[in-house]
Amino acid sequence: MVDLLPNYPFIYFGDNARAPYGNKSFDLIYEYTLEGVNFLFDKGCELVVLACNTASAKALRTIQQKDLPRIAPSKRVLGVIRPSTEEIASFTRSGFVGILGTEGTVKSESYLLELAKISPNLQVFQHACPLWVPLIEERQYDTVAGKMIIASDIDLLFKQNKNIDTILLACTHYPIIKSIIHEAVEQRASIIEQGPLVALKLKDYLTRHPEMASRLGNEQPVEFYTTEREDYFNQHASEIYGSIIKSQQIQLS
């Protein structure tokens, strides 16, 4: 996203100390997400993207409809589910699509509801992978046990329908293990990441809303904040980001 929109300032906030969100209650996810949104608003952000499927599924609509009119009517909060569902039909030939996500995302049925409206002809199959985020966070995904868990979840998805030819990774953690997922899928389907889709949709949104684009300021170094220890976050995030990250630890509650 930073590469695609280099002329805008970015502030990243990761609630790493309280992750994963996937197995938490609706009320707790909403509370944590709103705290994060308020933190970013206090840092001067005019537009916030919830780069988390669980938060997008369980908190976005409430924040948009209930909280924004009260706390920041001129600001905007967007999610990652709508951008993904708008594009997924262009990747499938069979019309059979698989969704891999957290328990919270799958149980919300947000993808089923959105795709029923946007692409009603698609056949959509979901599977929750509750162990994947802990495996990624603890760096255990490349072990024998980790690979077995990932392969088992992939097989359970295909057991729902063998004609699935496109799999959406509906969690922003999952691209970290994309090579292992590819190995388990064995060319049965294409693997789609959300990051590029969301970035392109955000670029389009800013083009269609120049009044918002003009309020976002100019290019500046990306700022990183985390609720985790700085040294722990910096080490792992730098590997993913591709350059050295220096974050600041904060405490929300």
As separate numbers, helices (DSSP H) first and strands (DSSP E) second, the chain gives 13, 9
Q: What angle do CA 228, 99, 156 make, to 5 degrees?
A: 100
Q: Write the DSSP assignment of 135-175 as a string of letters.
A: HHHTT-TTSHHHHHHHHHHHHHHHHH-TT--EEEE-STTGG
CB 158, CB 164: distance < 8 Å: yes
CA–CA dist 198, 51 (Å, integer): 9
Active site residues: 52, 171
> In whole angstroms, how far apart are CA 133 and each of 12, 58, 85, 174, 191?
19, 18, 22, 8, 18
CA–CA dist 183, 15 (Å, integer): 30
